[in-house]
Amino acid sequence: MAGFILFFAWVGFGGDLAIGMLTADNPPGSYHHWFPFIGIVTSLVAAGVCWSAWRNGAKRVLWAAGAWEIIEPATPEQRQYVNVVEEMAIAAGVPRPRIWLVPDDDPNAFATGRDPETASIAVTQGLLERLSRDELQGVVAHEMAHVRNFDTRLMTLLAGMVGAILLVSDGARVILRGGGRMGSGGRAGGGGGKKGGAGALGLVVLVLWLLTLVIAPVISRLLAMAVSRKREYLADATGAQLTRNPAALAAALEKLEGHGGATRAITKGAAHLCIVDPSERKISDVEGFLGDVFASHPPMRERIARLKGMAYSAE
């Protein structure tokens, strides 16, 4: 969280600092950048995007997935699903979340919401059809762990911050084009004034700021995915604590991993909310540096091994 806040401050006010230093030596009557309007605008935009994601992020995720809420279960699978959610809510000591079903054949599940009082749990139709009751209980316990540990709040806020950085980065590029035109006019009038120390240092700061704008989307997503991977391990452990049956969650993850398809209904922006990566999981399967940096979830083999270790069974 501190990294995101510092990143926002640099993307916003770093541009003001760079342009201010570049225009410091301009002659009287030329443009001097002294008011930090770039930082103020980017901060306001970022705050608005984060607030919108905070208030409406859960609804947007469910709407984008095409999920529909189960009020009265219509099939035996749905009745079992509702029963398991109620059971795990009691075990976790949280209010029963709203229960949703995603019409997708790929087995997957996610939880969303600002807090336990506003939480929702959603599973796909494919998951209901493929898992036994114990395995379904393990998956629901994993998602209930996200709710109890307030991971859904953290991930909703992180999703808003990633979106804000993307928007701010694009906006800063537009502002920079206008600032660049003003700066070039000043240089034309100022002759060799830019040979001063402030101008040279400002040029260095500007280059660093431009580099930040280019890599901002990548860095922000890496930060979000790093948080997501740690919370997945914690949710696995907490889910095993709630069910007292880590082997069931391990078996469920094996089935989810073995299916090998993609959850088409769930967008990439909500990938960090799911129990398994909704894409085809090619990066998540890679162990080592590449998977640790670019995957939204820990390696499935490692998650399953840890759960089986809790159950004192061989990998």
Q: Which residues does the annotation mark as catalytic?
A: 143
- Residue 173 CA to residue 194 CA, distance in Å, equals 23
Token duo for residue 261: 């398809």
Q: Please, which residues bridge with residue 122 across strands?
A: 100, 110
Q: Please, which residues bridge with residue 100 across strands?
A: 69, 122
For the chain, the straight-line distance linking the first and the last C-alpha, in angstroms and rounded, comes to 35
Whether 229 contacts 295, CB under 8 Å: yes
- Give the closest residue to 95 by CA, choosing from 122, 118, 129: 118
Whether 196 contacts 25, CB under 8 Å: yes
- Encode 259-277: b = buried (16+ Cβ within 10 Å), e = exposed: beeebebbeeebbbbbbbb
- Give the closest residue to 206 by CA, choosing from 31, 35, 24, 47: 24
Classify 309 as helix, strand or coil: helix
Residue 241 carries which side chain, given as an amino acid letter? Q
Q: Please, which residues bridge with residue 69 across strands?
A: 100
CB-based burial of residue 196 (10 Å sphere; 0-12 exposed, 13-18 middle, 19+ buried)? middle
In the chain, where does DSSP find H-type helix? 2-22, 37-64, 76-92, 125-130, 133-148, 151-190, 197-243, 246-259, 289-294, 300-310
